[in-house]
Structure 1
Amino acid sequence: MKDVTPLTEGWTLRHAAGDTVPAPAEAPAGDIPATVPGCVHTDLLAAGLIEDPFLSRNETAVAWVGRTDWRYDTALGPRDTAHERTDLVLDGLDTVAAVRVGGVPVGNTRNMHRSYRFDITDRLDPAAATPLSVEFTSAYTEAEAVRAQVGERPNAYPEPFQYIRKMACSFGWDWGPTLVTAGMWRPVRLEHWSTARLATVRPLVTVDGPTGRAELRVDVERTATGGGVLTVRARVGDHTASADFDGDGTTLTVEVPDPALWWPRGYGEQPLYDTELELLDATGAVLDRWERRIGFRTVTLDTGADAHGTAFTLAVNAEPVFARGVNWIPDDVFPSRIGPDRYRARLTQAADAGVNLVRVWGGGIYESDDFYDVCDELGLLVWQDFLFACAAYPEEQPLRSEIEAEARENVTRLMPHASLVLWNGNNENLWGFRDWDWEPALDGGSWGEGYYLGLLPRVVAETDPTRPYWAGSPWSGGWDHHPNEPAHGTAHSWDVWNRTDYTDYLDTVPRFVAEFGWQAPPAHATLRRALPGEELLPTSPGMLHHQKAHDGNGKLERGLAHHFAVPPAGPAHFDRWHYLTQLNQARAVATGIEHWRSHWPVCAGTVLWQLNDCWPVTSWAAVDGDARPKPLYFTLRRLYADRLLTVQRRDGRPTVVADNQSAIPWDAAVRLRRMAADGRILAETTVTARAGARSVALATVPGELLPDAGSGKEFLVADAGELRALHFPVRDHAFAYPAPRYDVATVRRGDEPDAVDVVVTARTLLRDLLLQADRLAPTAVADQGPLTLLPGESATIRVRGWDGGGDGDGDGATAAVRAALFMVEPA
């Protein structure tokens, strides 16, 4: 059996200065301890040699790190194995590296997204330690050299990320810092083996009527003496098969009668079958083993023409799915710090918010198998971008062969995962070619079209024909339509955030909204940690540094001004600005999702930009860089629930919409009340909206229940069970909100020592009441986001991670809660 020796101990890091690359003044002299997996920044940070780049404006002070060459060193023990062969296996090198064993070069790398294997059998000393060094050239040096070779190409950001196969967002983005990493970011090991090893195993999992099939396509590598017949033996659950072969590979099929089908979240269970394949020699001894979990399901993508344009609807096991999605970026700009627990925590947050689809965005990485394992278990569909984003990518060497090898390796690695349902060619590059003035700048040069419409679909068809491929997002399916035409394929909605107001989401019904979003600052406690000692203002130096979007604060202010009185400048008004910008983000996203969901099945999905952040920053995320949920997160939980009640305009008048994405019909008895701002009920009735399984139902609002179109003193309340929808005929700054009055009580939880129940009782209309729990304690989290209470109504908000300041049900706790409560106030 193959033996594996992890190489995690004894590493050191030093600046790799040479005759032409002098050490920068900031570089440490001599060796420092290094962690593998890891990167230069995290090693320097652990050694106390740089300040945390996530805090204040330290990012700029460590820019030199990314423009410096570095070397990692360790020693390999004496070669003490009876195996014929020893390979050095590096699962991820970031990015341009020269690998030497015993001072002798064994290989060079130039792709962060690939693994590498080098035969070092003859390099290891049988009696003494052998030096191993991995020397990294600055990613800037490589990218600039490739740019000089292939010629300039346009992109959306002033960094050369498209000339190197590296995580693009490490060069900075409109939500991310510029921290250009280097290092061994995935595991390193020695593998000792004899006769033959499993090089690749590709499971093509299909369902044909009552039978599930796992077709295991196996490639092997043999030693020089490893000829002859080999055997592969496979098991899927309790079902087995075996085959003999004498070449470099074979195909073995295991049939599973009546398999339990894997379903996305909300559509069924997620059964997974333990799958094992062993490689045996002629004596029956096991040479190598491959183990994964697979799920039986079918996936199709409907892109047929219809009366509304061109569909884009995913179906799992022949069941069309409304995608309740989020875009995923790397959860840390230093991805070696993301482990299984962090993946599980973040993806569980997504699942708890009702998400059923996660799009892995093309400016990041192909995530660890740990990420996809959790998605398999939670029923989160994965849309996987190939790693191209917001730039014209050269199709010449040395990039083209790297891209093909990268694509083949990652398709093979990820295809066992049942959650993976779509391969997508790129992010915004087909759109960019058409609309971002690339064509004149390119002057006929290559820009990536050959990848998205040629190479990548061929790789998917040859390697993983069980899944659909789409050329890009946005993409209308062909050049016959504009790439970002809402009626065809996938659409990105960014004009609303960049130029207009979120009410303009109501103007179109895209077939599938793959990106849209609205910015807001992170939680207050996150800001306090990230900007220590700074007086918080929207325009304070640290706040501006942690706002990476072009004119981001201007867009925030203009977005507020459409709906609220913008708070004056000055520290006394920061808390109000903070609350209103977070609320405006939640309101914007709600406007879009409620509208688009109400048009199912014409619109078949919304994918919020974005779930998460990679550092503390003002951004579009629902969960901030310190893992704290913003108000948007809790709003998303309502928007992505199986049942959504909303009021939408149909034929020019407000209409009740019951969107039922569950499998159980919903006869929604909706209590309608036309109410005055002072809380009086002006009219009341009940209507019924009968929504079948996975369908939408409408109910007309009787004329006497409709508030006057221009009234700032009336509004409509629609209640169905625990669900509530509101309709205000005017914007907030034109509505006559009463001065808010309410009572607060705090009750310590006997069954949860670190939990306090906060009970708020409204004496007036309280619109979008929000308890910012992190103001009570940095560890505190509330179980609810913004909620609206009518006079006389009460709500209980459970706060975990706070002991009530030692006075969980006293006046001190109540005063602290009042200071952390926010709501819409009169203009």
Structure 2
Amino acid sequence: MRFLKLVEWKLKGFYPYVPLLGNSLETQQELMGMTDWLPAKVPGCVQNDLWKAGWIEDPYKDMNSLKCEWVENRWWMYRTHFSISVAPDESILLIFKGIDYKAHFYFNGHFLATHEGMFEPVELTIGSDLCQKDNELTVLFEHAPDEMGQIGYTSETHTQKSRFNYKWDFSTRLVPIGLWDDVYVKVIKSAYWGEVRLTTSFEEQTGNIRWYGALKGPASASVHPSDEWVAIAEVVHNGERLGKWEAFVQQSGSFEIDMAVPNISLWYPNGLGEQPLYQVKVTLYQDGELIDEWMGRTGFHCLEWIPNEEAPADAFPYSVFINSSRMYIKGMNLTPLDMMYGAVTNDRYEDIVLKLKKANVNLVRVWGGGLIEKDIFYELCDEHGILIWQEFIQSSSGIDNIPSQKPGFMKMLERAAYSAITRKRNHISLACWSGGNELRDEHGIPSTVKDKNIALLQSMVQQLDPHRYFLPTSASGPNEFLSLDHPGKNYDVHGPWKYAGPVEQYRLYNGSDSLLHSEFGVDGLASYASILRFLSKAEQKVQTMQENDVWRHHGEWWCTKDREDEMFGGINDLQEFVVASQWTQAEGLRYALEANRRRKYRNSGSIVWQFNEPFPNVSCTSVIDYYHQPKMAYYWVRKAFANQHLSLKYDQLIIDSNTPFYPELYFHNSFEQGELNWTIECISPQGDRFHIQQGCHSIHSNTSTKLDTLDWDVSTMSEGIVIVRLSGSFIGESYKSNNPYNLESNTYLFSTKKSHYFSDWLRAPSADLSWSHVRNSGHDAIEVYEVVNTGPIPALYIVAAYMDGGIEKILFSEQNYSVLFAGERLQFEVERHSWGSDPVDPSSIYFKTIHSAGR
């Protein structure tokens, strides 16, 4: 058994159909093409290779992507050469994991096949008679198909290609062509492993792994039960082999192996326990000769979807029940990581998944307008406890949102769904399938299995992955969008995606009766350092999307200038604009999450739109920007998703001295029961504490509990900012000592001003900070610092920063955007290595409050 990954490729461009003719009919000369052969990176895409070769400018800068649209309208040829020894009784198997989009395959000048569709691998078998010492493999891609972006007619969809590339609110139009996933050559003899299914179950401490494998290849159709064909399975955990099992081929040409594993450990989602994985290796032998092997990892859990508390009888089950306990969904919606998704590296996937984990996320929705992601993403989610809600590749289009039922499309959808299900079902992190994003019938009601498109997908899941849950679409209704005007119908809803204002935002979320809020968000600007990377100098000033075409190109829907002018007064400094916009986004998202969580488990969870963005936007609903720089909202979402968290319920951000103001204190607990001590402090911008409230409560496990009502006399308050901080400590019943666990504090800003409510804070003097290096935490990229507020005024909000080429950049620390009152200190664990950047010298790291930006 021999295996080779093909990575050395060349690329050449042509006008459409030219390669099929080859030579000019008039001159008989070779039609050379529009480019010469260029270096190509596989996996990748044509646009990325052209960028590196200087044919196109950086498509992410300014409006350069408009200059790249010709690329999708050309034909492109990939070519590689490889050597591999093949005996007369052997064949080679060419495996293309990702073809984007329609391609013709040639081997040593022989035409092999044509394939159309992104989400199913292509396997081509080549006999030894066609193999040479030096083999040439050519893949000719046609121009990209004409498909709809965000706006169009879903019923007219005719491809299985990612639609976000054709223009979405968080992306430009950049339609990739190419080999977007790995390409392999495998030498085969009589048969090899084809379809594989891995399932687990357990009873008490004994687990059972059931492995099913079907043979493919030249001899697979003629295999009969005999001692000639043997499969041997092994299970390894933490380097220890836990058993070895043997099985013989069945009449169907397949194998089934049941493996009993003693003393198992259960797999838990992030924040609820560990993620032990068991490696399974199954080797195939014929007459004692090794023919093929398969390797994968799995785990043990019991996951169900059950009805919410007090849910209507006709509602879908929206609550996750795992390992005998409900789990509150702390979710994020994931878009593809890049417009040029083929070029995304494993390191970049790892950074995304680790940032999800550090944000206390336990479920990610892989959105239907994007991708069936690469294998590495699912493997990382297995490792780090991120449950996956996987959508099939369908999405709404605005003008109509009816799932396409075109015969050609239905055949492609069936093939793509078969591939997705059979390849992803073996991942322990996969929690459910969904028919697609915001699909509706002709009356605007979310699609159901009465639609034959959705019915097809449901039947395939039932047949191929029967233990997994299937939802027809997200949102699944009956209201598609959250509506207080239609109470009792907000089961699984989407929206809104804008901050509704200092009063309406709180009325909306306090009044929500959603069972599951599977998509909603608030927009905010990217980090200042990121904006400088993709906007030219002339564009680096405060603009609106209406005033500036470049800004419109990078986030047309998400202009926040009017919002920030209302909240903070007229803003003319770009750094100040970033701070104000990110603060409002953080405040709006934080409150939505806390409000939903206060209704646990009548509400089963929140899935924020969106975690990331595939294109650098000036403003967007993402909580990390294109360059993986977390916005302020990331850190506030992280706190709102913490296993133990204090929150404040209020009606508005503006305090009127003539109106009673009685915010309510809640405690959210994902862990065991215990004793909570809590403190509320109200403080002025000058550092004066004018109200303190304290209490002690016994807390039940896995609950949200109202603790008290904040009671202070607002009629005596002067005009300005009010800071309210919640803090506390918790002792769980299983703790071995009386040492309490200190909760992360949670801080709110209110205003008593009649207009420009938070201008005083944005333009306030900077707090006095000092810091000292404490230690290296034991990891090369982590440094620990102690930060002290040495002045009299509160420090709102502290971040770790450094200068890079004259540009201030923020480093990742889970303590970023913390608040310190006078004399208080806090240790920051700072990651001095950001994705895509070199490690930072620890001596160059400093700490600052964000509202001192630009000064």
Report the TM-score when normalising by structure 2: 0.83
For residue 563 of structure 1, give the secondary structure of its aligned residue in structure 2: helix
Match of 2:438 in 1: 428
For residue 403 of structure 1, give the secondary structure of its aligned residue in structure 2: helix
Match of 1:294 in 2: 298
Task: Tell me, yes or no, if structure 1 residue 654 matches structure 2 residue 663.
Answer: yes
Task: Tell me, yes or no, if structure 1 residue 744 matches structure 2 residue 776.
Answer: no
Task: Tell me, yes or no, if structure 1 residue 576 matches structure 2 residue 559.
Answer: no
Task: Tell me, yes or no, if structure 1 residue 374 matches structure 2 residue 369.
Answer: no
Identity %: 21
Alignment of 1:279-358 (within 5 A): 279-281=284-286, 283-303=287-307, 306=310, 310=315, 311-358=317-364
Deviation at 1:320, TM superposition (A): 0.7
Match of 1:587 in 2: 587
Structure 1 pair 99–254 and aligned structure 2 pair: CA distance change class (3 A): same
Match of 1:607 in 2: 607
Structure 1 pair 533–190 and aligned structure 2 pair: CA distance change class (3 A): same
Match of 1:724 among 739, 745, 752: 745
Task: Tell me, yes or no, if structure 1 residue 165 matches structure 2 residue 160.
Answer: yes
How far apart, in 1, do the equivalents of 2:551 and 2:799 lie? 24
Deviation at 1:582, TM superposition (A): 1.0
Match of 2:230 in 1: 231
How far apart, in 2, do the equivalents of 1:545 and 1:289 lie? 52
Match of 1:255 in 2: 260
Match of 1:185 in 2: 180
Match of 1:419 in 2: 429
Match of 1:13 in 2: 12
Which stretch shifts more, 756-765 or 579-588?
756-765
Match of 1:399 in 2: 409
Task: Tell me, yes or no, if structure 1 residue 686 matches structure 2 residue 697.
Answer: no
Deviation at 1:449, TM superposition (A): 3.2
How far apart, in 2, do the equivalents of 1:600 and 1:54 lie? 41
Alignment of 1:454-603 (within 5 A): 454-476=455-477, 489-494=491-496, 496-497=498-499, 502-503=505-506, 504-539=508-543, 544-545=549-550, 547=552, 552-554=557-559, 556-561=560-565, 563-567=567-571, 569=572, 573-603=573-603
Deviations 1:581-634 (A, max 9, x none): 011111111111111112111111111112222232122222211121211122
Structure 1 pair 302–786 and aligned structure 2 pair: CA distance change class (3 A): same
How far apart, in 2, do the equivalents of 1:531 and 1:27 lie? 34
For residue 509 of structure 2, give the secondary structure of its aligned residue in structure 1: helix
Letter of the structure 2 residue corresponding to residue 456 of structure 1: L
How far apart, in 1, do the equivalents of 2:775 and 2:197 lie? 53
Structure 1 pair 210–333 and aligned structure 2 pair: CA distance change class (3 A): same
Between Structure 1 and Structure 2, which shows a larger proportion of helix residues?
A: 1
Deviation at 1:179, TM superposition (A): 1.0
How far apart, in 1, do the equivalents of 2:613 and 2:202 lie? 38
Match of 2:37 in 1: 31
How far apart, in 2, do the equivalents of 1:626 and 1:492 lie? 27
2:156 and 2:404 in contact (8 A); partners too: no
Structure 1 pair 509–649 and aligned structure 2 pair: CA distance change class (3 A): farther
Deviation at 1:751, TM superposition (A): 5.0
Match of 2:732 in 1: none
Match of 1:698 among 706, 711, 716: 706
For residue 140 of structure 1, give the secondary structure of its aligned residue in structure 2: coil
Structure 1 pair 100–367 and aligned structure 2 pair: CA distance change class (3 A): same
Task: Tell me, yes or no, if structure 1 residue 132 matches structure 2 residue 137.
Answer: yes
Letter of the structure 1 residue corresponding to residue 851 of structure 2: F
Match of 1:631 in 2: 632
How far apart, in 2, do the equivalents of 1:822 and 1:377 lie? 38
Which stretch shifts more, 517-526 or 108-117?
517-526
Deviations 1:352-392 (A, max 9, x none): 12111121111111112211111111111111111112234
1:296 and 1:418 in contact (8 A); partners too: yes
Match of 1:786 among 817, 823, 828: 817
Which stretch shifts more, 204-213 or 466-475?
204-213
How far apart, in 1, do the equivalents of 2:112 and 2:678 lie? 71
Structure 1 pair 423–198 and aligned structure 2 pair: CA distance change class (3 A): same
Which stretch shifts more, 179-188 or 628-637?
628-637
Deviations 1:174-198 (A, max 9, x none): 1112111111111222222122211
Structure 1 pair 586–715 and aligned structure 2 pair: CA distance change class (3 A): closer
How far apart, in 2, do the equivalents of 1:807 and 1:208 lie? 50
Deviations 1:745-770 (A, max 9, x none): 35466759996765443423454455
How far apart, in 1, do the equivalents of 2:442 and 2:324 lie? 35
How far apart, in 2, do the equivalents of 1:7 and 1:186 lie? 11
Letter of the structure 1 residue corresponding to residue 677 of structure 2: A
2:768 and 2:790 in contact (8 A); partners too: yes
Letter of the structure 2 residue corresponding to residue 658 of structure 1: F
2:16 and 2:143 in contact (8 A); partners too: no
Match of 1:217 among 200, 204, 212: 212
Structure 1 pair 81–544 and aligned structure 2 pair: CA distance change class (3 A): farther
Deviations 1:198-232 (A, max 9, x none): 11111122234554222222211242595333222
How far apart, in 1, do the equivalents of 2:825 and 2:514 lie? 39
Count of aligned pairs between the two proteins: 787
Which stretch shifts more, 255-264 or 417-426?
255-264
How far apart, in 1, do the equivalents of 2:819 and 2:467 lie? 47
For residue 567 of structure 2, give the secondary structure of its aligned residue in structure 1: coil
Deviations 1:691-719 (A, max 9, x none): 2221122122264x354599746564433
How far apart, in 2, do the equivalents of 1:807 and 1:306 lie? 53
For residue 659 of structure 1, give the secondary structure of its aligned residue in structure 2: strand
How far apart, in 1, do the equivalents of 2:13 and 2:427 lie? 39
For residue 561 of structure 2, give the secondary structure of its aligned residue in structure 1: helix
- Gaps (5+ residues) in structure 2? 23-31, 237-241, 652-659, 730-742
Alpha-carbon RMSD across the aligned residues, in angstroms, is 3.9
Structure 1 pair 428–364 and aligned structure 2 pair: CA distance change class (3 A): same
Alignment of 1:265-284 (within 5 A): 265-281=270-286, 283-284=287-288
1:41 and 1:181 in contact (8 A); partners too: yes
Report the TM-score when normalising by structure 1: 0.85
Deviation at 1:720, TM superposition (A): 1.4
1:353 and 1:640 in contact (8 A); partners too: yes
Which stretch shifts more, 706-715 or 370-379?
706-715
Structure 1 pair 300–487 and aligned structure 2 pair: CA distance change class (3 A): farther
2:479 and 2:490 in contact (8 A); partners too: no
How far apart, in 1, do the equivalents of 2:689 and 2:307 lie? 48
Deviation at 1:394, TM superposition (A): 2.1
Match of 1:147 in 2: none
Letter of the structure 2 residue corresponding to residue 474 of structure 1: A
Match of 1:363 in 2: 369
